[in-house]
Structure 1
Amino acid sequence: MRTVIFDLDGTLADTSGDLLVAANHCFRQMGHGDVLVHGQDAAVALRGGRMMLTHGLKRLGAYDEETVNAYYPVLLDAYAQAIDTHTTFYPGALQAVEALKAAGYGVGICTNKPEALAELLMTRLGARALFGSLVGADTLPVRKPDPAPLREAARRAGGHPDHCILVGDSDTDRNTARAAGVPSILVTFGPSGDDMAALQPEALLHHFDDLPAIVAELVSAAV
């Protein structure tokens, strides 16, 4: 079976709002108030908790690696407490997943979000059962852009790791697919969408309605 593996944050769902709330919770505990701005800092949020803490502290002129390390668990706990308040799937995402499954593809998730948080989020959003696999940042000893998590997600979704496609939204996803020797499709509707073409993926995705046809075209080209 061929598989289509999805990144989560910034690809399947806009998780930036809840991530920013969790980061600002940390900054308030430090005595700085809210440092990151909804909308403006969405791209930073989608790069993960450590990046948000680092970016915010540098904005304050107070960056310190020990502070990032100390508050990262605080951020994760705050995020877990309100993980799906603002998060929504991008338009057409779940319908595209259903269409791919109906066409005979296995589908899975490969994310650099901690596995437990990814499982919690997908369950809260009522969509976990749609995916045959979910591999997180700590599922294996390595994380993206190492190709091992992508290959494991493909295997767990019932496919061969050499015959998968990764749908993502970042240079990390592009580099992961390249390292695995498989195609990548990068979405253009996230906060970093304008930068995706420069990464030269095998395809760009402007709306999830187009995904089944793009996947079919890439598979045909590989035969």
Structure 2
Amino acid sequence: MRAVVFDLDGTLIDSAPDIWHAANAVLQGEGLPLVTFEQSRGFIGRGARVFVERMELAVTGSNEAARTDHLHARFLHFYERAHENTRIYPYAAEALEGLRGRGLRLGLCTNKPFGPTRAVLEHLGWSGFFDVVIGGDTLPVAKPDPAPLLEVLARMEMGVSDIAYIGDSETDAETAERAGARFGLYTEGYRKGAPESLFHHFLFNDYRHLPDRLAELS
């Protein structure tokens, strides 16, 4: 194994509170009903556009293209600034440092748009930490299409057999399966179903265990 590629939201960081605040800032500004934290958390996973579509449907009962476009633009405005309550999952930072110390390269493949991704990485002190960063709007398609993950590999000049992918959700599991990648499922993120029901090579709930689980794949 030469590299490990990570998802971001729900995998390395818990950003759900900030995403919820951004969503309600948009809705409040538009005079629309607000969403609960659990509703907002359930909308996460398929990128900002799908998040907004789900939010719009929940509060209005329908999706209208022009309104969706407007809400999406407003959401991105708040989303890029929404990181004050975002936290790194316990021991994730130490695990990343340990993997780098072993000579492994690190990639990031997220459905979060690139602008908010860059902003939160700067906020966390992780600017330049990952060799390659692919956001949800870097390519014309987003996860679970395997193209973003494969783009990370292409930019690293590696094949799928050279890496493991780490994520937390149904979207990540499907991405890994379609790409033919080895997949570790972090069980403390935004997954909706039972972890055993998802494609995976291993499960883990504590980042202190990740290096050993990855070593078992090699």
* Contact 2:48-2:111 within 8 A present in 1 as well: no
* Contact 1:188-1:194 within 8 A present in 2 as well: no
Aligned to 2:12: 12
Structure 2 residue identity aligned to 1:73: A
Aligned to 2:22: 22
Aligned to 2:83: 84
Change (3 A) 1:94 1:159: farther
Structure 2 residue identity aligned to 1:10: G
Structure 1 residue identity aligned to 2:19: L
Note the residue ranges of structure 2 that are not aligned, 5 or more in a row: none
Query: Aligned residues: percent identity?
Result: 34
Deviates more, 1:60-69 or 1:91-100: 60-69
* Contact 2:160-2:180 within 8 A present in 1 as well: no
Partners in 2 of 1:204 and 1:149 — Cα distance?
23
Partners in 2 of 1:36 and 1:126 — Cα distance?
31
Partners in 2 of 1:141 and 1:50 — Cα distance?
13
Aligned to 2:101: 102
Alignment TM-score, normalising by the size of structure 1: 0.87
Instruction: Work out the number of aligned pairs and report it.
Output: 217
Partners in 2 of 1:48 and 1:140 — Cα distance?
12
**CA deviation digits over 1:189-217, x for unaligned, max 9?**
12426632211311111111111011111
RMSD: 2.1
Matches within 5 A, 1:49-60: 49-60=48-59
* Contact 1:132-1:158 within 8 A present in 2 as well: no
* Contact 1:131-1:157 within 8 A present in 2 as well: no
Partners in 1 of 2:26 and 2:145 — Cα distance?
30
Note the residue ranges of structure 1 that are not aligned, 5 or more in a row: none
Partners in 2 of 1:144 and 1:47 — Cα distance?
7
* Contact 1:100-1:212 within 8 A present in 2 as well: yes
Partners in 2 of 1:52 and 1:172 — Cα distance?
13
* Contact 2:107-2:133 within 8 A present in 1 as well: yes
Partners in 2 of 1:160 and 1:105 — Cα distance?
14
Structure 2 residue identity aligned to 1:217: E
Q: Which aligned segments of 4 or more residues in structure 1 are displaced greater than 6 angstroms?
A: none
Q: CA deviation at 1:15?
A: 0.9
Aligned to 1:38: 37
Partners in 1 of 2:207 and 2:128 — Cα distance?
19
Q: CA deviation at 1:136?
A: 1.0
* Contact 1:23-1:52 within 8 A present in 2 as well: no
Partners in 2 of 1:205 and 1:193 — Cα distance?
16
Structure 1 residue identity aligned to 2:18: D
